[in-house]
Structure 1
Amino acid sequence: MVYFDSWDEFVSKSVELFRNHPDTTRYVVKYRHCEGKLVLKVTDNRECLKFKTDQAQDAKKMEKLNTIFFTLMTHGPEADISDVSGKEQAEQQQPKKGRGRRQ
């Protein structure tokens, strides 16, 4: 079990782990209320990578990691993730115009 201090290093090692073992790799997000910490774990049952944080701004980083893993899971481990970003994709989607009642 390896704890990472650097977010970028954690993400790169997690993506590398997924690409090497796409069928067995999984990730878990856990919030420890007693410590006030968010713990992210990526494992393939042989290697376990963990990142622990208590910063609220890291929640956005977690969202980006989630988007990266969804891209890899849907498009395969050879997918290009260089242009993946959760916030940019959300901004590109146009809001739907409702046909509800005017107030």
Structure 2
Amino acid sequence: MVFLKDWEDFEMAAESMYLKNSSNCRYSMKYIHSKGQLLLKLTDNVKCIQYKTEIMPDLKKIEKFTGNLAAHMASNE
């Protein structure tokens, strides 16, 4: 498992991983209340990338990313 420090790196890696192998990708989001952290994880059974944040401005970026990922999942391509 790889933790990426930069949001842009995580976003690009996650989108490219999903586009390469969409049928095996899984995306999860977990809130850790005791630490006040949000943990994102995307895996394709071979590689796993993670991103965690404690700052509020990242939530808008995560919301936009999740919407884009859901749009990819809902499209026919």
TM-score interval, smaller chain: over 0.9
Residue 18 (structure 1) aligned with residue 22 (structure 2): no
TM-score (norm 1): 0.71
* Letter matched to residue 61 of structure 1: K
- The alpha carbon displacement at 1:76 in A equals 4.5
Higher strand content, 1 or 2: 2
Identity of aligned residues (%): 32
Question: Residues of 1 paired with 2:48 and 2:76: CA distance?
Answer: 21
Pairwise CA distance, 1:69? 0.5
| Larger RCO: 1 or 2 (CA < 8 Å, sep 6+) | 2
User: For residue 39 of structure 1, what is the aligned residue in structure 2?
Assistant: 39
Partner of 1:51: 51
Change (3 A) 1:54 1:60: same
- Ranges in structure 1 where 5+ consecutive residues have no aligned partner: 78-103
CA RMSD of aligned residues (A): 1.1
Counterparts of 1:23 and 1:12, CA distance in 2: 18
Question: 4+ runs of 1 displaced by more than 4 Å?
Answer: none
Map 1:62-81; keep pairs closer than 5 Å: 62-76=62-76
Q: Which runs of 5+ in 2 are unaligned?
A: none
Q: State which drifts further: 43-52 or 68-77.
A: 68-77
**For residues 17 and 68 of structure 1, do their structure 2 counterparts lie closer, same or farther at Cα, with a shift above 3 Å needed?**
same
Structure 2 length-normalised TM? 0.93
Q: Distance in 2 between matches of 1:34 and 1:28?
A: 19
| Shift in alpha-carbon separation, 1:67–1:43, aligned structure 2, 3 A | same
Question: How many residues are paired up?
Answer: 77
- Larger-gyration structure (1/2): 1
